[in-house]
Chains A and B, each alone.
Chain A
Amino acid sequence: MATPATTDTALSIQNLTVSYHNQPVLWDINLEIPTGVMAGIVGPNGAGKSTLIKSLLELVPSLSGEVMVHGRPYASQRRRVGYVPQRSSVDWDFPTTALDVVTMGLYGRLGWLRRPGRKEREESLEALEMVGMSAYADRQISQLSGGQQQRVFLARALVQQADVYFLDEPMAGVDATTERAIIDILRRLRDAGKTLIVVHHDLQTVRNYFDWLLLLNVRVIASGKAEDVFNIDYLRQAYGGQIALLNDSDALMFTASKVK
């Protein structure tokens, strides 16, 4: 659809604060993410990773904050933003097919009254093809494996042809093959100039997957190029005592892991 605007900041956030009851969930977030990166949002459980994405997309209310996508307010840029929610956020026993779920990605573009037609069907099939799921187009979504369901969600975001994608734990509970496939697709999107913002919980793979990182624990601990941010001092700050660095390798391990 639209080509990236002249500004090279894909997403900028000013003073974003979110609270739940009397508990601050996100505190004064200031952040700029450049165009064309694969950015990871990393932090311990309860750090507000998913909440950050949801408040950006105005799915949960924020107390304050200004969100700009490619230099303009988010509300006017919805069409340029794609969203992949957590797989567990929906009931997969819903009576529908994989193709139909993907077509839902086009509902925003179709507007209030137009119905998806042949053109939309073609586009959705293409997106399923991209994630390697074209053989499952007419399959009931309840019969898909977790990894396949995740790919369907990804395809639904792909048909939006957005410029900035938000993905909420796309690698949670999927098999290694799917994780590989998802990463490949995300890298291809990045190489095509899209910006990907991914909530991720597996520290082992962070360095491998992302070229830009946000370390989050209610506040921004650090953000910037992955090689600058991914060091033990920042990680200790974000995770507290839950983390240990093995001496002779770069492998990171949780000692008191509370991983879901």
Chain B
Amino acid sequence: MQWLDLLSDYTFQNVVIGASLLGLISGPLGCFAVLRRQSLLGDAISHAALPGVCLSFIITGSRDMGSVIIGSLATGSLAALTMLLLTRKSRLKTDAALGICLSIFFAIGIVLLTYIQGTNNASQGGLEAFLFGQAAATLRSDLWVMGSITLVTLTLLAIFWKQAKLVTFDGQYARSLGMPVNAIEAALTAMVALAVVVGLQMVGVILMAAMIVAPAAAARQWSRHLGGMLVIAAGIGIVSGVSGATISTLSRGLATGPLVILTATAIVIISLALAPGRGLLWGFIKHYRQKEALQKQQLLYALYKHPSASQHYRTTFGVRRVLSQLKRQGYLIRSPDGGTGWALTSRGEKAAKQVVATFEEVVT
């Protein structure tokens, strides 16, 4: 049994649990990032984590999870702060400030990375895995760290749910109620940084932003409440994590991180297209139905008000289609005098009277 082998495989278990934890934390926090229009902040933080990872390696000489987390949190939040300062104090707009921070910090990270590789330190092997993630290298001890971070963040979110929601929706109003808005916003941003840190090992600094944005963007399509959106985003995060990990293990050698991201993206595309109410397909159907209903009403109205003019109706394909549809539904017949015109049946007359009545009601 291939599946049983797979499930009892130690590495696979680690990868799947890690990917699920990542989905569980990045989905809900991503929702807040997306709704606060800070999706790209996650991108800046994750790219800026690279110099932190390298620095912590240079200082401690090892790449254990604890020091990596502290290092990446430090440079990640430094980047976020720099970005805030740039937008507040200079004339740069948010996107430009983000772009600058992201590239500078990432460039420093790459320089440090190549420096470390040049020193021929034996234990540096695999440090470049943080670029694209190396899920298979996940250890049980890493999982405990990831799990604790996830648990603490989600608990905080549950306790301060009201505050997080109101600050995200209407910060000024929250301030007028006396909430410490700056502190809550800072906490939310810090949590995004934590989510990024959790994902470093799995998907790497470059693709991590997608894990923040994609589940949230997809979840928004399916939900009507913030709570629902968070739960769905967590679900989508877990599903893409687990399926990405499974595909990667089954296909021997394909990178896990990118596969997780691709799965999440696929879910986003499906959600954008199909979600009831907000999806593209839904919009098409609604538009088409409304157009059809309107044409029917207008034709019935015209036939009722100007029955003799119906000889001239055969002009366009669209009109002919609606006419034959109305005939099939028993509203119309070919006019009895044998001409090319149309006449209303008794049923059609009733419907037409209704249309006329509502139309005249609207006018008056």
Residues of B within 8 A of A101 (CB): 169
Among the listed A54, A96, A140, which residue makes an inter-chain contact with B169, where contact means beta carbons less than 8 Å apart?
Answer: A96
B-facing residues in A53-69 (Cβ within 8 Å): 54, 57-59
Judge if B170 is at the interface, Cβ distance under 8 Å.
yes
Judge if B228 is at the interface, Cβ distance under 8 Å.
yes
A-B contact count (CB 8 A): 68
Minimum CB–CB distance from A37 to chain B (whole Å) comes to 21
Among the listed B162, B223, B225, which residue makes an inter-chain contact with A107, where contact means beta carbons less than 8 Å apart?
Answer: B162
Judge if A212 is at the interface, Cβ distance under 8 Å.
no
Please give me the residue from chain B that is nearest to A140 by CB atom. Answer: B224
Residues of B within 8 A of A97 (CB): 224-225
Among the listed B159, B166, B178, which residue makes an inter-chain contact with A104, where contact means beta carbons less than 8 Å apart?
Answer: B166
A81 to B173, CA, bound (A): 11
Judge if B177 is at the interface, Cβ distance under 8 Å.
yes
A95 to B173, CA, bound (A): 17
Q: Interface residue count for A (Cβ, 8 Å)? A: 27
Judge if B175 is at the interface, Cβ distance under 8 Å.
yes
Q: Range of interface residues on chain B?
A: 20 to 34
Q: Is B173 a contact partner of A83 (Cβ separation < 8 A)?
A: yes
A91 to B171, CA, bound (A): 11
A113 to B156, CA, bound (A): 11
Among the listed A104, A112, A113, A116, which residue makes an inter-chain contact with B173, where contact means beta carbons less than 8 Å apart?
Answer: A104
Judge if B220 is at the interface, Cβ distance under 8 Å.
yes
Judge if A117 is at the interface, Cβ distance under 8 Å.
no
A-contact bits for B163-181, CB 8 A (1 contact / 0 none): 1011011101111111100
Judge if A94 is at the interface, Cβ distance under 8 Å.
yes
Judge if B326 is at the interface, Cβ distance under 8 Å.
no
Q: Is A95 a contact partner of B177 (Cβ separation < 8 A)?
A: no
Residues of B within 8 A of A107 (CB): 162-163, 166, 174, 177, 179
3 closest A-B pairs by beta carbon, nearest first, are A108-B177, A83-B176, A90-B170
A–B Cβ pairs within 8 angstroms, 13 of them: A57-B175, A81-B176, A85-B170, A89-B170, A89-B172, A94-B35, A94-B169, A96-B224, A104-B166, A108-B179, A110-B162, A112-B160, A140-B224
